[in-house]
Amino acid sequence: MPMSREQPATHLQCRFHLPHGAFALTVEMDTPLQGITAIYGPSGSGKTSFLRCLAGLERPVGGFMRWGDRVWQSETPRLFVPLFRRSIGLVFQDGRLFNHLTVAGNLAFAQERALTRMAHSATPDPVASQQDRQELLSILALDNLLHRRPDQLSGGERQRVAIGRALLTNPELLLMDEPLASVDGASKQRILHHIRQLVTRWQRPVLYVSHDLGEITQLADQLMVLENGRMVAHGPLHQLMTRLDQPLAHGPEAGALIEATVVDRDAEFQLAHLRFGAGLALYIPHTADLEPGKRVRVRILARDVSLTWDAPQRTSILNIFPATVVAIQEETPAQVMVKLDLAGIPLLARVTRKSCATLALQPGLSLFAQVKSVALHGAGYPLDPGGGDPASGDGIPTGHFSHKKGLDHLWPSP
């Protein structure tokens, strides 16, 4: 079955109460998971503890967890399925590779774990095939690393191996706990691209913990927000980012996500011409992966949006949108956050209280929002992951994970 085919969402039902000294994680949820769901919150909010409960690394008293039609933890009847029997892949911040094994050995371990899980399951999942292995090696650019040991790898290379190892267990759910926190900027962008490629082809849900909004806005479809051990919000990422009752709409990186289509490229001025919503035009600096016809996600920060009553004339600003004020919320004695509606597309603008008073801003007011194109350099992320690693120019294999059984001797000797 081709991996580009959409897979139905799998239902996650869980109830956890896990005290740690003065802190306690208390989460109860019942929701379908599909695509990438980011778990966001400040340090100490319980993000990692929540993943550990899901994985079976913690055992909350009275806890309950059901994944699809499989119960992995309950008190009545008393049941606790250990991690190695759960169809879960884990990627940690530090990779946690086996230092005594080569990259090939670490990857081979993953398939051995899948075979072990099959042997203990009444409804076994198929293990990865030779085709699966080759596609993973290609997408993650691991072919030239197979005979190296972890201490011979860079931070980015170790994390790519960790992702490959997790996927080769053929899990039904992938848990990623700040996997790029210690990776440098250039490597981080490449790995984010790899993750998007793999999730598109692999079609399994991912829970991705991060406190980096840049990562989240590139990857996530859904968002869960944790504060002080409790789930305070859960929903589509683009909606939660612009809800003024949520902290995401008020931090220094507050902004909106717009999904658009690349119309064409202005070769003379190196701009990409995009269209979104009701035919609105958006111009951003062109990059190699912004090809005509591609769907892209553009992040527009609230601090880069200005407001004016009248349509500007003879201005350097290329992006000018008719908008309606939806709501205004004071953030500090000096500034306010304004939520705008662009014919059904939400946008945020951070302005001074003086500007708010001068323009007599109020809900229902029609005006114009302006965004400088240069402020959007690097802000466009392709939603279609085709085209290979943008940093290396590598192509993407056209194969798919076949999920055939057998073939457990697929690896070169360590």
Domains in the chain with CATH codes: 10-240 (3.40.50.300), 255-382 (2.40.50.100)
Task: Express each pLDDT in 300-327 by its tens digit.
Answer: 999 999 999 999 989 999 999 999 999 9
The span from the CA of 195 to the CA of 91, in Å, is 12
Burial classification of residue 93, based on how many CB atoms lie within 10 Å of its CB (0-12 exposed, 13-18 middle, 19 or more buried): middle
Concatenating the DSSP letter of every residue in 351-401 gives EEHHHHHHTT--TT-EEEEEE-GGGGTT-EEESS-TT--TTTT--------
For residues 97 and 150, is the Cβ–Cβ distance under 8 A?
yes
User: What pLDDT, on the 0 to 100 scale, is given for residue 207?
Assistant: 96
Contacts of 323 (CB under 8 A, 6+ apart): 307, 340, 341, 342, 347, 366, 367, 368, 369
- Whole-angstrom distance between the N-terminal and C-terminal Cα of the chain? 31
84: confidence class by pLDDT, cuts 50, 70, 90:
confident
Whole-number Å distance between alpha carbons of 50 and 52: 5
Among 18-22, 94-98, 318-322, 348-352, name the one with the lowest average pLDDT.
94-98
Residue 121: the pLDDT is 55
Mean pLDDT (whole number) for 179-207: 83
- pLDDT given at position 118: 61
How far apart, in whole angstroms, are the C-alpha atoms of residue 305 and residue 307? 7
pLDDT at position 342 is 96
pLDDT above 90 as % of the chain = 54
Do 327 and 348 touch, CB atoms closer than 8 A? no
Query: 251 vs 378, which has greater pLDDT?
Result: 251
Number of other residues whose CB lies within 10 A of the CB of residue 357: 10
Average pLDDT over residues 154-183: 88
Tokens of 132: 């699966």
The answer to whether 313 and 346 are in contact (CB under 8 A) is: no
Average pLDDT of the segment spanning 366-388: 82
Cβ(211)–Cβ(183) below 8 Å: no
Confidence of residue 129 (pLDDT cuts 50, 70, 90): low
pLDDT number for residue 3:
37
Q: pLDDT-derived band of residue 112, with 50, 70 and 90 as boundaries? A: confident
- Give the pLDDT confidence score for residue 8 in this predicted structure: 62
Helix (H/G/I), strand (E/B), else coil: 288: coil
- pTM comes to 0.83
Q: Quick one: which H or E segment has residue 255?
A: strand 255-266
Is the model more confident about 397 or about 307? 307
Residue 247: band (very low, low, confident or very high) from pLDDT cuts 50, 70, 90: confident
Burial environment of residue 358 by CB neighbours within 10 A (0 to 12, 13 to 18, 19 or more): exposed
* Cα separation, 342 vs 242, whole angstroms: 13
Q: Are 242 and 346 in contact (CB under 8 A)?
A: yes
Tell me the C-alpha distance between 125 and 132, whole Å. 14
Q: What is the pLDDT of residues 23-81, one digit of tens each?
A: 999 999 999 998 999 999 888 999 999 999 999 999 998 899 999 999 999 988 889 99
pLDDT reported for residue 396: 33
Three-state SS at 274? strand
β-bridge pairing 305-308 and 319-332: unpaired
Higher-pLDDT residue of 266, 388:
266
- Mean residue pLDDT of the chain comes to 85
Lowest mean pLDDT among 23-37, 102-116, 333-347: 102-116
Q: For 286-300, 346-360, 372-386, which range has the lowest pLDDT when averaged over its residues?
A: 372-386
CA–CA gap between residue 370 and residue 164 (Å, rounded): 43
